[in-house]
Chains A and B, each alone.
Chain A
Amino acid sequence: MLDDLTLKLAVAGAEIPNLAPIGIEATAYHLPGMPISVEDWCASCGHSPAKAEAIRKHGGEMVYITDEPVEELVFRAVAQLEDRGALVPAEIGLVLYAHTAQVSVPKPPRCMSSMVMHRFGIRRAFGCSISEQNCVSVYMAVRVARAMLLRRPELGSALIVAGDVIPSEYYREIDEVGLHSDGASAMILKTHPSRYRIVDMMIHSESAFSDRIFSDAEPQRRLKGTQALYLCAERMIEELLAAHSVSLHDVSIILPHNLDLAMWRSLIRFVRGTTDQLYTANFSRKGHVLCNDLVINLTDIDAELSDRLNPGDFVLCFTRGYGWTYGAMLLRR
C-alpha cells in the first residue's frame, strides 16, 4: 500500500556543527476581528449543520475572516513586536516572508519583505519570500534564517513574518475537519536567544501526493495520505530526537498545527507520546491559521504555561502542510 512512499529522510535532517546557538527571541501574532463560530460560517455559506458538527468533532469551533489585505495583518503583527520593544530595526539584517496560499501576497511588483522593511525602518536587510512548503513554509524560513545568521553573524537578527488570507470561502474548508483562518505572525531569530534555542529541525516532502487535493472520490488516496502522515511523523520525530539523545518523554510540550484534534490525539499515541504533552488549547479558539500556527502556539504557551516550562525544557513542534510537506523542530527553553 505504501510502497511508493519515499521516507528517505537523511537529507532533510540538519546536522549543523555546534556553532553559535540560534533561536527564537520574540513572537507575536494578529488575528483579525471577532471570530465566527463554525455554525455561523456554515450557515452563511449554505452548508448544512451536519458539516459544522463534523468540524466540531475534529476540534474546530471558531474561524477568523477578514477582507483586509494580508500586508495589513502582517504590519499589525510586527507592530506588536515594535510596541514591546522587541523589534530593533538597526539589528535586523534579514526579513523573510512565509505564506501558504499563493495569493497571500501583495500584488506584484510589491514585495512583502521590502514593505515590512519600509514600514518599520529596516534598511540593511536581505529580504524575500519563502513559500511552496505550504504550512511548513515558516519552518523552511526558520531553516534558511538560521543558516544565513550562522554564515554571516553581522546580519544580526532575522525577522520572519507570515501571513495568510484565504481568497474565497470555497478554499476555507479543509475536508470537514477544520477551517482555515486568516491571520499573520512575526518572530525574531537571533544568536544567543533568551527564549528558545533551536536544537535542530527537519523538513520532508512526500510530493507524490502534491498533485491534487484528496477528494471523496479517492478514498484509497486519502487513506494512503493519512498513513503517510503517521509514518512520516514517527520517523521524523524519532530521528530528530535521537540525533540529540532526547527521548519523547523528555519533551515538555508538543506544539501541533491547530487542525484536526482527533487526528492529533491518535497521532500522539502512535508516536508513543502522551496527550498531556500535546498543546490543544488553540484547536478550538484559534483554529488553523496556516503558516502562523507555530508562532501563535509559541506565543500562547509563554503566556499560559509558564508554570510548566522551565529553563532547559524541550518543546517539540510538528506540522503537516498541504502538498504533504512535513516540518519538525526541537526547541530548548
Chain B
Amino acid sequence: MYMDAATAVSTDMTIDGVGRSIPSNSTATAEASVRHRRCGSDPREVLLNSVFGCATSSPDATRIDVAELSHAYAVADPRATMVALSLIATDALRNGGVPIAADLLILAHSALSGTLDTATACYLHHRLGMAEAIPFSVSHCHAAGFLYAARIAADLTAVEPRLNSALIVCSDIWVDPLPRRHPPFDSTGDAASAVRLSCRGSGWPLLAIANGNEPTLADPYGAEVADDPLQRWIDAQCLVIDIVLSEARLTAKQIACCIPQSLNRTLTRRVARRLGLPMDRHFLRASELHGLLSTADTPIALAILNETRTDLRSGDPILLWSAGHGGSVAAAIVSVGRSRIPTANGDFPG
C-alpha cells in the first residue's frame, strides 16, 4: 500500500529573504554527529524519558552504511535553544533589510520546543512583536517541513483575502531522549532559519509546490515498515517532483539547478538518475558545509546558493526537493529573481 498520488499548487508568493542560525560552523565526522546532546540536569529529561523512553541506548537502525550519508554534520551546541536560534535567525533576516511583519507566523519543527509548557510559536509571536499575525506550528515533517509550511502558507493566502504574507521560522534542537539518528536514513543537526514569503512581492517567485506522504515510511521502528525503504522513498520523491514540474509546466531538462535534501547522497544520486538531471546541476555546497540541518535544511541551502552561485540568471528555475519524517516528501520550483535576495547568517554567540 504505497503512496499513489500527490497534489501540487501554483503560488503567487515570493521568497523575500532568508536569515539563518547554526550553532556551530565546524564540521564533524559522522561518528561525532551521532552523539546525543545530554541535558542531565534538565528536569525535562525526566519527563521526556518517561514519555518516549531512553534514546541513547536505542539501536542504530540505519540500514544504509554511514559512508553513504552526507559526510559533514552540524555539531549541536549545548547552549542553543529553539527560541534562541529562532530569534537569531529572525534578527539576521531583519538586519538584512527584510521586514519580518507578516500575517502568518509559522513555526516549522520536528523536535520539541524549548519549553514543554508553553508554545514556542506564541512566544515568538510575543517576542517578535507580531501582534497581528496568527502563530501556529507545522510539524513532524522534519527536513520537508519548510516546504509543507510554505504549501500551507500559499493555500491560506490564496484563499483568504486578508492574508498576504508569512514568516516561516524553521527550528530544531535535538535533545535526549529524541534521537539524532533517524532510521533508515539520516543523522540530523540543529539549526534555525527565518524565511519571509509575500504575495506578489519583489523576491524570488515560488512558482509551485507539491507534497505527499508515503505511508509505509510512517514508522521506521514499526513492524510494517517497507521492505525497501530507500526505493519507496525514491519512488515517492520522484512522484512529487514530476507533479511539481508538471504544475510549473517545466521539464527536468529545463531545471538550471537542483537543491536536494542533505540527508543521503545515495537518495540524491538515484533521484537524479531517475529524473535525468546530471549531478553537476545539483547544488551540494550546503550539505558539504553543514550536513542535514533538520527543518531549516532547505531554506539554508537556498540562502547559500543565493550567496555563492553568481552564474544563475533571472528566470532560471531551481528545483528544491526534500524528504522527512513520516515519509513526507516535497518539491518546489523557485525562479531566480531580478536581483539577489537578502540572506544573512546570524552568529550564535561563540
> Which B residues are CB-close (under 8 A) to A269?
none
Bound together, the chains give a CA A128 to CA B4 distance in angstroms of 18
Interface contact B7-A155, CB-CB below 8 Å? yes
Bound together, the chains give a CA A125 to CA B178 distance in angstroms of 26
CB distance from B100 to the nearest CB of A (A): 15
Interface contact B213-A207, CB-CB below 8 Å? no
Interface contact B132-A117, CB-CB below 8 Å? no
| A15-B162, A117-B213 known; A147 vs B156 contact (CB < 8 Å) | yes
Interface contact B133-A151, CB-CB below 8 Å? no
Contact with A along B38-54 (1 / 0, CB 8 A): 00000000011011110
Bound together, the chains give a CA A205 to CA B117 distance in angstroms of 16
Interface contact B52-A107, CB-CB below 8 Å? yes
Asked if B96 is at the interface (CB within 8 A of a chain A CB), the reply is no
Nearest residue, chain A, Cβ from B107: A132
Asked if B125 is at the interface (CB within 8 A of a chain A CB), the reply is yes
CB distance from B127 to the nearest CB of A (A): 8
> Which B residues are CB-close (under 8 A) to A129?
137-140
Interface contact A134-B119, CB-CB below 8 Å? yes
Interface contact B50-A168, CB-CB below 8 Å? yes
Interface contact A123-B131, CB-CB below 8 Å? no
Which residues in window 158-193 of A have CB below 8 A to B?
167-168, 171
Asked if B277 is at the interface (CB within 8 A of a chain A CB), the reply is no
Interface contact A123-B220, CB-CB below 8 Å? no
> Which B residues are CB-close (under 8 A) to A19?
159
Stretch of A6-14, A29-37, A39-47 contacting B (4+ beta carbons < 8 Å): A6-14
Asked if A126 is at the interface (CB within 8 A of a chain B CB), the reply is yes
Asked if B90 is at the interface (CB within 8 A of a chain A CB), the reply is no
Stretch of A48-56, A137-145, A234-242, A284-292 contacting B (4+ beta carbons < 8 Å): A137-145
Bound together, the chains give a CA A126 to CA B152 distance in angstroms of 10
Nearest residue, chain A, Cβ from B149: A128
The residue that B118 contacts in the complex, of A97, A143, A210, with Cβ under 8 A, is: A210
| A127-B328, A151-B159, A205-B134 known; A105 vs B140 contact (CB < 8 Å) | yes
CB distance from A66 to the nearest CB of B (A): 13
Asked if B122 is at the interface (CB within 8 A of a chain A CB), the reply is yes
> Which B residues are CB-close (under 8 A) to A297?
none
Interface contact B137-A15, CB-CB below 8 Å? no
Asked if A87 is at the interface (CB within 8 A of a chain B CB), the reply is no
Asked if B21 is at the interface (CB within 8 A of a chain A CB), the reply is no
Stretch of B108-116, B249-257, B282-290 contacting A (4+ beta carbons < 8 Å): B108-116
The residue that A11 contacts in the complex, of B3, B162, B224, with Cβ under 8 A, is: B162
The residue that A110 contacts in the complex, of B122, B135, B163, B325, with Cβ under 8 A, is: B325
Bound together, the chains give a CA A190 to CA B268 distance in angstroms of 37
Asked if B234 is at the interface (CB within 8 A of a chain A CB), the reply is no
CB distance from B72 to the nearest CB of A (A): 21
Nearest residue, chain B, Cβ from A7: B131
Asked if A2 is at the interface (CB within 8 A of a chain B CB), the reply is no
CB distance from A185 to the nearest CB of B (A): 18
> Which B residues are CB-close (under 8 A) to A101?
116
Interface contact B140-A112, CB-CB below 8 Å? yes
> Which B residues are CB-close (under 8 A) to A88?
none
Asked if A213 is at the interface (CB within 8 A of a chain B CB), the reply is yes
| A13-B162, A108-B325 known; A122 vs B215 contact (CB < 8 Å) | yes
| A8-B132, A129-B138 known; A102 vs B123 contact (CB < 8 Å) | no
Interface contact A210-B126, CB-CB below 8 Å? yes
| A110-B219, A168-B47 known; A93 vs B7 contact (CB < 8 Å) | yes
Asked if B68 is at the interface (CB within 8 A of a chain A CB), the reply is no
Asked if A150 is at the interface (CB within 8 A of a chain B CB), the reply is yes
Interface contact B152-A11, CB-CB below 8 Å? no
Interface contact B122-A152, CB-CB below 8 Å? no
Bound together, the chains give a CA A128 to CA B324 distance in angstroms of 11
Bound together, the chains give a CA A147 to CA B163 distance in angstroms of 12
Interface contact B135-A147, CB-CB below 8 Å? no
Asked if B275 is at the interface (CB within 8 A of a chain A CB), the reply is no
> Which A residues are CB-close (under 8 A) to B213?
95, 111, 113-114, 117, 125-127
Bound together, the chains give a CA A12 to CA B163 distance in angstroms of 9
> Which B residues are CB-close (under 8 A) to A6?
131-132
The residue that B119 contacts in the complex, of A17, A132, A150, with Cβ under 8 A, is: A132
Apart from the given pairs A93-B7, A124-B6, A127-B328, 4 other A-B contacts in the complex at a CB distance below 8 Å: A112-B140, A129-B140, A208-B126, A323-B119
A-B residue pairs in contact (CB < 8 Å), sample of 26: A6-B131, A16-B160, A103-B112, A106-B219, A107-B52, A108-B140, A108-B142, A108-B325, A111-B328, A114-B214, A114-B325, A115-B219, A118-B219, A124-B5, A128-B140, A128-B326, A129-B140, A132-B135, A137-B136, A140-B134, A143-B156, A147-B152, A147-B158, A147-B160, A207-B126, A325-B122
The 7 nearest A-B residue pairs measured at CB = A111-B326, A114-B326, A114-B218, A132-B121, A132-B137, A207-B126, A124-B5
A residues at B contact (CB < 8 Å): 6, 8, 10-17, 19, 93, 95, 97, 101-103, 105-115, 117-118, 121-134, 137, 140, 143-144, 146-148, 150-152, 154-155, 167-168, 171, 203-205, 207-208, 210-213, 322-325
